[in-house]
């Protein structure tokens, strides 16, 4: 929980700064059906939601980082059943189940990444797995920061196609694009912050026999897994929301476009990271 407490002030500043900027932009450039008339309370509501989401994400990430299972991890899971009996809510109950399963799955996942016995010639896989496990926190944050806009765009698109427009889809698409840019910048920053250390490691590993293509593959896996996990999570969330709220499937073209975008980001950043380290 220390980690959550540590990052919350920064998140709060960012979220409320963004909300104020969005309010100003909408007031000056607007109008939009979503924010024009009640921009201030909606911006604050959005900020609160993002803050809560961020706290949840960082909490899950902290569990992934140090997966100590505690009894209270089971509380949401146990509570799901009585809540279902009482409310039959198809939104709250799945969220409770997800919240209960997250630390358990995170622990299992981390264990699988960290304890797979290495085999001869598997240095690249070992490196990729261990780097994924060792950097679980930023990768969890990255996956969620891919999942949320993916879900927004895919769901918004499905809702738009399904019937009366209730949300300004262009805003959702713009938000998704902006987030993609932010994700790329975050990834490049992450890569750059580790270039010196990784170049030194790469030089020594090359002397031990590491091949360039093995390093490229390991880098691709390390960066690609969280991105694709985010994509799949986001699409699943969007599919569930679209089915529940507007009873419509996701549009294949949009899904393919999002998958292509994520694949292009993963390949581009992995190639860049490899080139920076192995030049």
Partner 1 sequence: MSSPLLTVERLTRRFRRRSKFVYALDGLSLELYPGQFAVAAGPRGSGKTTLLSILAGLEPFDGGRITTHPPLPKDVPLGRMRWRDVAYVPQVLTLLDELTTRENVEMPALLDPDGAAGWPAEQVMNRLDVGHLADAHPNDATRAEQQRIAVARALRMRPRLLLADEPTSQQDPDSAALVLDVLHEHARAGNAVLISSDSSVTADRVLQLLDGRLVV
The answer to whether 123 contacts partner 1 (rule: CB under 8 A) is yes
For the bound state, the minimum distance from the C-beta of residue 205 to partner 1, rounded and expressed in Å, comes to 7
Distances 13 to 85, 180, 189, 203, 233 between C-alpha atoms, Å: 39, 21, 20, 40, 27
For the bound state, the minimum distance from the C-beta of residue 119 to partner 1, rounded and expressed in Å, comes to 8
Q: Which stretch binds partner 1 (CB under 8 A): 62-70, 93-101, 114-122, 234-242?
A: 114-122
Give the one residue of 203, 213, 244, 264 binding partner 1; rule: CB under 8 A: 203
The answer to whether 137 contacts partner 1 (rule: CB under 8 A) is no
The answer to whether 134 contacts partner 1 (rule: CB under 8 A) is yes
For the bound state, the minimum distance from the C-beta of residue 135 to partner 1, rounded and expressed in Å, comes to 8
CB of 107 or CB of 194, closer to partner 1: 194
Q: Which stretch binds partner 1 (CB under 8 A): 46-54, 79-87, 179-187, 204-212?
A: 204-212
Q: Which residue has the tokens 């809540």?
A: 83
Q: Which stretch binds partner 1 (CB under 8 A): 38-46, 60-68, 71-79, 201-209?
A: 201-209
* Token pair belonging to 132: 């994924």
Question: Could you give the count of Cα atoms lying within 13 Å of 107 in the half-sphere of its Cβ?
Answer: 10
List the alpha helices (DSSP H) in 88-194. Answer: 92-115, 123-134, 136-162, 169-193
* Cβ contact 272:188 at 8 Å: yes
Distances 122 to 108, 133, 204 between C-alpha atoms, Å: 22, 16, 17
Give the one residue of 1, 29, 85, 208 binding partner 1; rule: CB under 8 A: 208
Q: How many residues interact with partner 1 (rule CB under 8 A)?
A: 22
Rg (CA), the chain: 21
Give the one residue of 20, 46, 126, 186 binding partner 1; rule: CB under 8 A: 126
Which residues have a Cβ under 8 Å from the Cβ of 220 and sit 6 or more positions away?
Answer: 266, 267, 270
The CA distance from 25 to 22, in Å, is 5
The answer to whether 70 contacts partner 1 (rule: CB under 8 A) is no
Give the one residue of 9, 121, 164, 253 binding partner 1; rule: CB under 8 A: 121
The answer to whether 204 contacts partner 1 (rule: CB under 8 A) is yes
Q: What is the DSSP letter of 164?
A: S
Residues that bind partner 1 (CB under 8 A): 118, 120-123, 126-127, 130-131, 133-135, 200-201, 203-210
């Amino acid at each position: 929980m220390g980690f959550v407490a540590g990052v919350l002030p920064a998140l709060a500043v960012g979220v409320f700064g963004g909300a104020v900027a969005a309010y100003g932009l909408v007031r000056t450039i607007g109008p939009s059906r979503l924010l024009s008339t009640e921009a201030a309370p909606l911006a604050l509501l959005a900020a609160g939601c993002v803050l809560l989401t961020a706290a949840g994400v960082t909490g899950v990430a902290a569990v992934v980082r140090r997966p100590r299972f505690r009894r209270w991890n089971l509380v949401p899971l146990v509570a799901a059943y009585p809540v279902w009996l009482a409310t039959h809510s198809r939104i709250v109950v799945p969220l409770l189940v997800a919240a209960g399963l997250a630390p358990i799955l995170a622990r299992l996942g981390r264990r699988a990444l960290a304890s797979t016995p290495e085999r001869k010639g598997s240095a690249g896989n070992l490196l990729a797995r261990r780097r994924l496990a060792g950097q679980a926190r930023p990768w969890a944050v990255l996956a969620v920061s891919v999942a949320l806009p993916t879900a927004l765009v895919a769901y918004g698109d499905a809702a738009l196609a399904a019937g009366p427009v209730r949300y300004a889809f262009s805003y959702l698409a713009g938000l998704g694009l902006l987030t993609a840019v932010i994700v790329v910048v975050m990834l490049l920053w992450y890569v750059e912050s580790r270039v010196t250390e990784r170049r030194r490691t790469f030089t020594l590993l090359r002397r031990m026999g590491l091949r360039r293509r093995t390093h490229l593959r390991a880098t691709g896996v390390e960066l690609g897994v969280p991105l694709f996990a985010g994509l799949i999570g986001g699409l699943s969330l969007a599919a569930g929301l679209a089915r529940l709220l507007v009873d419509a499937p996701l549009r294949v073209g949009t899904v393919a476009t999002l998958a292509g975008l994520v694949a292009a980001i993963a390949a581009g950043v992995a190639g860049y990271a490899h080139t920076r380290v192995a030049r």
